[in-house]
Amino acid sequence: MRIGELAAQAGMTKDTIRFYEKIGLVTGRRLANGYRDFPLETVPWLHYVRTAQTLGFSLAEIARHGEELRDAPDAAEALSALLKEKIQVIDARMVELAALRAELDARVGTGCPLRAAGQAD
């Protein structure tokens, strides 16, 4: 399928698909006339990419995990494992952000908010 049809079916722009092709997320072959031709399975793959981005996965993570999922004997189980890993990353980040918030809160209203709490002026 040509890039315009793919873009319409995937609900994204041709520029986005060109970018994804440039970074290796999708692969199309060139026809004799120079047009890109993508296989039909590219549409659900692009839907997966969009969903994964919405769930906080970077394009690099999606590309890396895409290969793992394609090669996995049970893709649903492999995907569940990836989601659990992402939850652990988010939980760790939430702990870091809570500590940062507490540090910022401790500095509010001090003479010089850039000094560490308890440090003399």
The CA–CA distances, whole Å, from 53 to 40, 47, 107 equal 21, 10, 35
Q: What confidence tens digit (pLDDT) does each residue in 10-55 have?
A: 999 999 999 999 999 999 999 999 889 999 999 999 999 999 999 9
Any idea what DSSP says for residue 23?
Answer: T
Burial tier of 98 (Cβ tally within 10 Å: 0-12, 13-18, 19+):
exposed
Please tell me the predicted confidence (pLDDT) of residue 71. Answer: 82
Burial tier of 63 (Cβ tally within 10 Å: 0-12, 13-18, 19+):
middle
Q: What confidence tens digit (pLDDT) does each residue in 56-106 have?
A: 999 999 998 888 888 888 988 999 999 999 999 999 999 999 999 999 998
In angstroms, rounded to a whole number, what is the distance separating the alpha carbons of residues 118 and 74? 55
